[in-house]
Amino acid sequence: MKNDVLTLASESSHPKPPLLTSEQCARMCGISRRTWHRLSASAKVPSPVKIGGNVRWRSSDMELFLEWNCPSREEFEQRKEALNAQ
């Protein structure tokens, strides 16, 4: 019981951020930030969200991207649209 309370406390104290930096995305993929930027520039990762001068990626997109074995941006967007249409 005590472990369950600690688990719940740790999950609630660190909610998943809705947007991720390039460094966080690269870390999730096990690559360098520079490689992440190269992949983004060549449309091989999900589309970023631009907020002011900042570029971020949706954490939900990153989860799907990894779950779907890292498809190209075009394929990712098609699969995401099909998923949302259901």
**CB proximity list for 13: less than 8 A, separation 6 or greater:** none
Q: Where are the chain's structural domains? A: 17-85
Read off the pTM: 0.79
Round to whole Å and give the CA distance between 48 and 53. 12
Q: What is the pLDDT of residues 10-69, one digit of tens each?
A: 445 677 789 999 999 999 999 999 999 999 999 999 999 999 999 999 999 999 999 999
CATH number belonging to domain 17-85: 1.10.1660
Tell me what pLDDT residue 13 has: 63
Confidence grade of residue 9 (pLDDT, cut at 50, 70, 90): very low
Strands 49-51 and 54-58, bridge-based pairing: antiparallel
Count CB atoms within 10 A of the CB of residue 60.
13
Q: What are phi and psi of 57, to 5 degrees?
A: -125, 140
